[in-house]
Structure 1
Amino acid sequence: MATNKMKAPASDTKEIVDVPWAYRETVDRLSPGGRYIDMGTDVDSPWVPFGDGAAIKHLMFDVRTNTYSNILWMKGPGTIGTHLHRGTVTMVTLTGSVRYLEYDWVGTPGGLILEVPGEAHTLVTEHPEGCKLFGWMNGPIDFFDAEGVYADTVDVWWMITHYETYCKENGIPLNPKLYL
């Protein structure tokens, strides 16, 4: 019987290891570097209202790839309007529960939601305490009204403006760690 030999290499050191890397100078010069964003408090990013009964905590903006990350908080039972994805979305349900009207599953804490370009759907939560979703989005999302008429496009530029406008209006300094 074959055994799976795929294991992480063992390490017995708790020290920084000087790894040989031919491009270290280039990386040091051009990379924005790793960073930590505190999702649990408002230290790194405030909750910004997103329509009635919802808010967004912005976590990352990458204008090079039109990628953005945030936590969507639906504060109680409610709906995020019908939208069409032009890129991919990966979300994790953090609290509560959520579903799409167009599907038969319900996302619960720890569950992974994958969305692909070209799908339109309507996000809802019936949970009495709503839900929080961690999201990693790439590309634009087109929103439509109840009659299917185009309303707006949300992309990295929209998200940056959403965050910056709120911060400026409320005297909150912009956090450079959110920009890659």
Structure 2
Amino acid sequence: MDKGDHSTAPYRGPKLPNVPDDLVISGVLDMDCDERLWVPQSKDVWFRPLCFNVSQGYFVNILRVRKSGILSRHRHTGPVHATVLKGRWHYLEHDWWAEEGGYAFEPPGDIHTLEVPDGVTEMVTLFHVTGAYIYVDVDGVSLGIEDVFSKLQAARNHYDEVGLGASFADQFVR
């Protein structure tokens, strides 16, 4: 048995069964990347997928908004983590602001209306969303739903339309 110092040696045992490969994407903060990577969500709103975890029901993406005003009113079925990369935004129902360089945690069940204020020409936020967004009206009546599966399908459709192929989205699936 070798008794030398192995603190800087990589693990040399067998790979554990059923462990998926790591997902590593370079240049995710390059906002001047190929525009085809941005999936349109609505007018002046796009997302760039980083991970679609279909077995655990979450997705990670970068949301880019190039307009001010109300983006959506929604309820979360699971926790949401947000890191603001550029610009600022807030929820009409709360007094806090999510500002560049800041982090926000949104608990499951929270209902809020996202607004990008006047004067913000571009808002970019990294979101980690577990569960679904349930879009609601002012009284909380459900209008639609968005989850990892609908986001993945939107990405597949977009990448197919822009010539990257629907399977381009599959690299983000875990």
Q: Aligned match of 2:172 in 165, 173, 178?
A: 178
Counterpart CA distance in 1 for 2:21 and 2:36 is 19
Question: How many Å separate the matches in 1 of 2:35 and 2:15?
Answer: 29
Q: TM-score, normalised by structure 1?
A: 0.81
The offset of 1:128, in angstroms, is 2.8
**Counterpart residue identity of residue 64, structure 1:** S
Aligned-partner residue type, residue 38 of structure 1: G
Contact 1:37/1:177 (CA < 8 Å) preserved in 2?
no
Is the Cα contact below 8 Å between 1:88 and 1:116 reproduced in 2?
yes
2: CA distance, partners of 1:56 / 1:34: 18
Counting strand residues as a fraction of each chain, which structure ranks higher? 2
1:134 and 2:126 correspond:
yes
What displacement does 1:94 show? 0.6
1:43 Cα offset (Å): 5.5
Give 3-state SS (helix, strand or coil) of 1:158's partner.
helix
* Structure 2 residue aligned with 1:97: 88
Q: Distance in 1 between matches of 2:35 and 2:65?
A: 20
Any stretches of 5+ residues in structure 1 without a counterpart? 1-15
The yes-or-no answer on 1:25 pairing with 2:19 is no
Distance 1:48 1:99 in 2: 23
Q: Judging changes above 3 Å, is the alpha-carbon distance between structure 1 residues 161 and 87 closer, same or farther for their aligned structure 2 residues?
A: same
What amino acid is aligned across from residue 161 of structure 2 in structure 1? E
Q: Percent identity?
A: 23
Contact kept? 1:44, 1:175, Cα under 8 Å: no
Q: CA deviation at 1:167?
A: 0.9
Unaligned runs of 5+ in 2: 1-7
Closer, same or farther: CA 95–47 of 1 in aligned 2, 3 Å: same
Partner of 1:153: 145
5 Å matches for 1:24-43? Answer: 24-27=14-17, 30-39=19-28, 40=30, 42=33
Residue 54 of structure 2 aligns with which residue?
63
**1:121-155 deviations in whole A, cap 9, x for unaligned?**
01111143131110111111100235643111111
Matched residue pairs, number? 164
- Measure the CA separation in 2 of the matches of 1:143 and 1:150: 6
Q: Normalised by the size of structure 2, how large is the TM-score?
A: 0.83
Separation of aligned partners in 2, 1:58 and 1:135: 10
**Amino acid in structure 2 at the alignment position of 1:97:** R
